[in-house]
Structure 1
Amino acid sequence: MTLGVVAKIKVKDGQQAAFEAVASKLAKAVQANEPGCLLYTLNKTDDPVTYVFMERYKDEDAVKAHRGSDHFRSLGKEMGAFMDGPPEILRLNELA
């Protein structure tokens, strides 16, 4: 079953450029190293401090591989310094 994840992240005001630099590195690492990840994009909303990662995975094993990857753990920790609270995560089971 294909799975989707939407991660909404608020960033501390004034930290947008630093967050974008690290988050972009993460997106590139996921795209280059996770064959089970079908989509992984960083998006900016109309709110200048709100970002959204849109993610799509082949199956639950691909989600687990993503969460366990070195790049997710290290760059995710690095991104945390710029975040204004925990991300809002929405998990989706694709139907069609």
Structure 2
Amino acid sequence: MARPGLCPRANLEVLRTEPRRIPMLAKVFPIKLKDGNQAAAEAIVQEFAPKGPGAEEGTLSFRVYRDPSNPDYLLFVEHFADQAAYDAHTGSAAYEELIAGRFADLIVEFVEVDHELLVSL
């Protein structure tokens, strides 16, 4: 977190001299979609975002990326306050209907990768 009056380079020095852990659970999901399902998958994700992650207190960020050079592929990058927040997210009615339900029918495979925060500016 930046301190008032410090330039960005000084902020890096603060990170070096005052390390701190920010509790957070980061999830990354590379997802291969069934051929020809990019638009349908994106529509479901657009519908899900405000109903699920947008309404959840413990979901800190929810981002879904497309790769213009790789059709039928999405990358989910999600941050949660803790494991309980992630469990609430995946247990929500919106998740069950849209992600575990309709979206799951469109995917070939996905990998769930947990990450720990190392640096945050």
Same structural fold, with TM-score higher than 0.5 when normalized by the shorter chain: yes
**Deviation (angstroms), 1:16:** 1.0
**Structure 1 residue 27 corresponds to structure 2 residue 49:** yes
Give 2:77's match in structure 1, choosing from 38, 48, 54. 54
**Which runs of no fewer than 5 residues in structure 1 stay unpaired?**
none
Partner of 1:81, secondary structure, is helix
Tell me the amino acid that sits aligned with residue 25 of structure 1. E
* Matching residue of 1:6: 28
Which structure has more strand as a fraction of its residues?
1
Tell me the amino acid that sits aligned with residue 79 of structure 1. F
CA distance in 1, matches of 2:118, 2:36: 39
Q: Is contact 1:11-1:49 (8 Å) kept?
A: yes
Cα RMSD of the aligned pairs, angstroms, is 1.3
CA distance in 2, matches of 1:70, 1:30: 8
CA distance in 1, matches of 2:43, 2:25: 26
Give 2:103's match in structure 1, choosing from 79, 89, 92. 79
Give 1:43's match in structure 2, choosing from 65, 74, 85. 65
* Matching residue of 1:66: 89
Partner of 2:76, secondary structure, is strand
Give the total of aligned pairs: 95
**Deviation (angstroms), 1:11:** 0.9
After TM superposition, the score normalised by the length of structure 2 is 0.72
* Matching residue of 2:13: none
**Which runs of no fewer than 5 residues in structure 2 stay unpaired?**
1-22
Q: Is contact 1:5-1:54 (8 Å) kept?
A: yes
After TM superposition, the score normalised by the length of structure 1 is 0.89
* Matching residue of 2:3: none
Identity of aligned residues (%): 28
